[in-house]
Structure 1
Amino acid sequence: MPQGLGQLSGLDAGIIGLYLVAIVALGLYASRQSTTATDYFLAARSSTWPTIGLALLASNISSTTLIGLAGAAYASGIAVYNYEWMASVVLVFFCLFLLPVILRSQVYTMPEFLERRFDGSIRLYFSGLTIFLNIVVDTAGTLFGGALMFKLIFPDVPLWQIAALLALAAGAYTAAGGLKAVLVTEVVQAVILCGASVFVAVFAFEKAGGWDAVMAGVDAQKMSLIRPASDETLPWTGLITGVPLIGLYFWCTNQFMVQRVLSAKDLNHGRWGSLFAGLLKLPVLFLMVLPGSAAILIYPNLERPDLVYPTLIFDLLPVGIIGIVVAGFLAAIMSSIASTFNSASTLVTMDFVRRFNPNVSQASLVRIGRITTLCFMVLSVAWVPVVENLTDTLWQYLQAVLAYAVPPVVALFLAGIFWRRANVAGARAGVLVGLVAGGYLFHGVQVSGSIHLHFLLAATLLFALSLAAVIIASLVTAPPDRVKTETLMWTRADFDAETRSLKGQPLWQNYRVQAGALLALTAIIVWLFR
């Protein structure tokens, strides 16, 4: 690693400090009108499409993403970008089929939707699982990635203390203002994050000798998105099966992300915002993945892949620019942490507290949400040392945990929205089979090594087993009441009615035209880097 890495000039430190103070102040200012549960947890359902799109990007691009994408590209190649472009495909699917049903239900949380479609036990299971994943995967992983960066600046400060300060900075305005404060700050943070990423990419390619030098100098296999079935990192079989499943969970059912869309002022803004987020995900290849490829030529012997992104920042960027880029990195950390804190507190408050005490006042719900946020701050910081000792790369940790935990949830949502016969018995069977099979596969693949199966293929197998359990158990028991399916399913009739309504809309406002253009652009990028 280059000498002197992590040293900040007074100018850089001043820029970072100014950003931190400004963003916390902005969040606290935005929090002043959050008085009801709808205000606090869903920003009064008044969000417009630019806010939703930028907030989705800011929530998704965390320190885990910045460090993980560059580190994975350095260690194994750009195939890691498959998770990013797949988001565009998944979000198109979301807008076409799931979003109309979800917004029509007027729910606060995604587990609440499962309760209406099935029953309360499924809601509690999914809510508990989401809270667990929010803390041990999303927040703890983000805090670890952020602390890893700032550990280079403050080498004598323990990692957990750095993580605690980051959690406190984001948790302060999240606890005060809820989703409205989170959305306002995320819009600013998304802009800063994208600008900072441009600086890193430009300087990395310049140091490596330019675009042509990187394309020619890095091993061709590492510059290919489509890998053979025997590839240990991301086989093409896992790309077309496991990656979409993880994407469906993350973008379509995870409260952490969907809460932004639930705050939309209407269905159009929810769709436009989601597709805008999908569009914003495409440049990630050039801004966050390929700089890791350039680092192969610049730093061929880094001791750990997760050090690629911090090394590029502190070794290549000039004074002043370092401050801007570190502020962008801080923006990624704070926006992601704020998102997970807010979604987890929403789940606890609405899926547990209000469910078991429906007469609780609006003021009490807001107060409980704030207290819950503070509790999650402590829990996520406590999990950071566990993340540090579990894995070699952040990206491996993130995707592997999701692969064994979320396929049954995807099976429940897809069966519930597209198959009228799916019932409570089927949902419970799907959950039970998923838990048992997931535990067995996780132990056999990740712990004992007795099963040789890529985690993406394990996710596919879990999904198939859970879906089969849902179908079989539903068919051998009584069908659900019609009230359970009347408004909580996608139907062809709804689609046809929507087709007629879209005929009077300008093409540039037609979300189906937008979705087609997004898919075409995605296909071009994948083809060029196949």
Structure 2
Amino acid sequence: MQDFNITWIDITVVVIYLIASRAIPLWLNRGKKSDTGGFFLGGRNFVWPMIGFSLFATNMSGSSFVGMAGAGYSSGIAVYSYEWIAAVALVVFIFMLLPFYLRSGVFTMPEFLERRFDSRSRYIFAGMLIFLSIFLDCAGALYAGGLVIQTLFPSIDLWVGVLILTILAGIMSFFGGLGAVVISDTIQACVLLLGAALVLAAGLYAIPSWDAMVQAAPENGMSIIRPIDDPSLPWPGLFGVLIIGIYFWANNQLIVQRTLGAKTLDHGRWGSIFAGFLKLTSLFLMILPGLMALTLYPDLKTPDLAFPTIAFDLLPIVLRGIVLAALIAAITSTVDSILNSVSTMVTMDFVKPLRPHTSDAALVRIGQMTTVAVMLIVVLWAPQIIHFQSLWSYFQSILAYVTPPVVAIFFVGILWRGATPAGAFAAFVGGLGIGILGFFTIQVGGLVDFHFLYSASVLLFIGLALIIGVSLVTQHKPGEEVDELIWTTRILKDESKDLAAKPAWQNYRYQSLVLMVVTAIIVIWFW
């Protein structure tokens, strides 16, 4: 195993960071979480920089931080497609979905589906999100984080690393609610970006030249768009990446909850666009360091050692402590967000509908107890993943099999007044049933050779067919119940009038255009 020389000075930097990154958010958020709006949505008072940083930090888990450099080391920059497509998905989100979410005043995405359709869709989606959040997202982030800590500190058992990270993350969610989580995410995003920038600068200084890095890269390693026979990311699969990306950035409670707490629609949109720009930096801050590590250390035992090796070999004391803090920031910012998201859905999608007279104070306490319960579950489950490595590798593709019908339901529901509760229910039950069958047939059983990204595209069209087909022969909700949740050209015209009175730099349409142009330039440059 690679020997990482971590000094007491580095550890001191990390400890100071850990104390400050917990104390400051809790102090700033004091007295702002007494009701459900305060605890679960931060009082709906988030401004755009906080939203953007929180979206970025929540998405960039420890596995992303280390894994993207590892992907760059082993196969090049193709993994960046998941990052630039995120910018596209965020633009789709702020144009098509966010205005309706904020207009409805909901706490959760399942609650929005109940407003548009019925309680069946709410409970199915809430149950699906809670299961995926606990057993896939949260456990996966903690497992990866535990492995990172074990790599840096071999004497620490995996379960101890998982427990430490869970407690660090749980403090924010339990005591501070979403308000403290978002403040913490803002701090941690800055530390994450600083740590990644330090590693990038050290790598650029150490490699002989840019051309030397290009020469060391694997075949097609400097190309974002891969040929159709590429086993990991063939170019037709990019549509599947977009489907998964739209679900993750536009329908997933974990992410959308930050924008539900926006001070205004403009702040929600500006924050999302800001997050899109931050996502574009990952090519330079997180993937290219992996290629630099390949240039400098071509014989590493595993690609995932690329990031810690280049950091600890090239950076001096103190700066290494900042990078360690950045790694912990990436892990805990994801986990505390998941804990808050799950507690929100359990409380607002199950407890409140079933016990409508429960007081706000009691709902907050239930949310806190849910956080503790989820912490116990993931601490017990995450270390067990090491015994199911082959199964866990299959789980990485599960979103391609279960999320496309969700995307179909949200978009058809907003774009078509004729979408019915029965149609949404059919798309959920049929789409998820077919998706799970496909997952076990293709991914686990290997009975059919079919790329999981292609499966996402097929399942989207199955979901569309189910909701549209069943809606054509079933009763839709009265117009007055859904009028405010349906997109019309009148909304576009009214919005255009409002935007005409604003300066161009405040117009989210121009901001989105700039984001798309920058995205296109990067993709074309590294085509």
Query: Normalising to structure 1: TM-score of the pair?
Result: 0.96
Rounded Cα–Cα distance in structure 1 between residues aligned with 2:394 and 2:387: 11
User: What pairs with 1:355-366 in structure 2 (closer than 5 Å)?
Assistant: 355-366=353-364
- Specify which of 489, 492, 504 is matched with residue 492 of structure 1: 489
Contact 1:306 1:393 survives alignment (8 Å)? no
Match of 1:194 in 2: 193
Residues 74-83 or 247-256, more deviating: 74-83
C-alpha deviations, 1:152-193, integer Å up to 9, x for none?
233122201110111001101210110011011111111111
Q: Which consecutive segments of 4 or more residues in structure 1 shift more than 6 A?
A: none
Give me the whole-angstrom Cα distance separating, in 2, the residues matched to 1:439 and 1:41: 31
- How far the C-alpha of 1:220 sits from its partner, in A, is 4.4
* Residue number among 501, 506, 510 corresponding to 1:504 in the alignment: 501
Q: Is the 8 A contact 1:163 1:381 kept in 2?
A: yes
Aligned-pair identity in percent equals 45
Q: Is the 1:111–1:122 contact (alpha carbons within 8 Å) kept by the matching residues of 2? A: yes
Q: How far did residue 316 of structure 1 move?
A: 2.7
Q: CA RMSD in A?
A: 1.6
Letter in 2 for 1:72: A
Alignment-mate amino acid for residue 427 of structure 1: A
Q: Do the aligned partners of residues 455 and 432 (structure 1) sit closer, same or farther apart at CA in structure 2, a change above 3 Å counting? A: same
Q: Which residue of 2 aligns with 1:177?
A: 176
Match of 2:477 among 457, 480, 486: 480
Task: For 1:27 and 1:46, locate their aligned partners in 2 and report how far apart those are by CA, in whole Å.
Answer: 15
Q: How far apart are 1:126 and its partner, in Å?
A: 0.7
Distance 1:430 1:483, change over 3 A: same
Q: Where does residue 157 of structure 1 map in the other structure?
A: 156
1:136 alignment partner AA: F
Q: Give the aligned partner of residue 444 of structure 2.
A: 447
Aligned to 1:471: 468
Q: Provide structure 1 residue ranges, at least 5 long, that are not aligned to the other structure.
A: none
Pick aligned residue for 1:521 from 504, 512, 518:
518
Q: Which residue of 1 aligns with 2:165?
A: 166
Q: CA deviation at 1:384?
A: 1.5
The more displaced of 360-369 and 378-387 is 378-387
Q: 2:17 matched to which residue of 1? A: 19
* 1:318-373 superposed Cα distances (whole Å, 9 cap, x missing partner): 21111011001111111111111111100000000001011100100110111111
Structure 1 residues 75 and 398: alpha-carbon distance in aligned structure 2, compared to 1, 3 A threshold: farther
Note the C-alpha offset of 1:31: 4.2
Report what 1:115 is aligned to: 114
Letter in 2 for 1:217: A
Contact residue 394 and residue 443 of structure 2 kept, 8 A: no
- Aligned counterparts of 1:200 and 1:264: Cα–Cα separation in 2: 33
User: Which of 270, 273, 285 does residue 272 from structure 1 map onto?
Assistant: 270
Range that drifts further, 474-483 or 502-511? 474-483
What secondary structure does 2:475 align onto? coil
Secondary structure of the 2:30 match is helix
- Per the alignment, do residues 68 and 52 of structure 1 end up closer, same or farther by CA in structure 2, a change over 3 Å counting? same
Match of 1:301 in 2: 299
* Aligned 8 A contact 2:184 2:333 in 1: yes
1:340 partner amino acid? I
Q: Tell me the residue number matched to 1:72.
A: 71
Q: Contact (CA 8 Å) 1:56, 1:277: kept in 2 or not?
A: yes
Q: Distance in 1 between matches of 2:148 and 2:123?
A: 36
Whether 1:378 aligns to 2:385 is: no
Offset of residue 387 of structure 1: 3.5
Aligned mates of 2:526, 2:478 — CA distance in 1: 49
Stretch moving more, 396-405 or 293-302:
396-405
Residue 349, structure 1, aligned to residue 347, structure 2: yes
For residues 121-270 of structure 1, what are the structure 2 equivalents within 5 Å?
121-239=120-238, 241-270=239-268
C-alpha separation in 2, matches of 1:295 and 1:322: 16
- Cα drift, residue 446 of structure 1: 1.5
Mind listing any 5+ residue stretches in structure 2 that lack a counterpart? none
Which residue is equivalent to 1:28?
26
Determine whether 1:81 maps to 2:88: no
Match of 1:359, SS state, is coil
Q: Is the 8 A contact 1:30 1:177 kept in 2?
A: no
Q: Distance in 1 between matches of 2:300 and 2:99?
A: 48
CA deviation vs aligned residue, 1:414-437 (integer Å, no higher than 9, x gap): 111111111111111111221221
- Paired residues, what number? 526
| Structure 2 CA distance for aligned equivalents of residues 304 and 175 of structure 1 | 37
User: AA paired with 2:225?
Assistant: I
**Take 1:180 and 1:275, find their aligned partners in 2: how far apart are those partners?**
20
- Cα shift readout 1:382-411 (whole Å, capped 9, x = no counterpart): 2223433445899x6675121122111111
Equivalent-residue separation in structure 1 for 2:415 and 2:384 (angstroms)? 39
CA distance in 1, matches of 2:340, 2:407: 22
1:53–1:20 CA distance, 2 compared to 1 (3 A): same
What are the Cα deviations for residues 223-253 of structure 1, in whole angstroms up to 9, with x where unaligned?
A: 11111111111011111x1111111111001
Q: 1:321 to 1:219 in 2, by over 3 A?
A: same
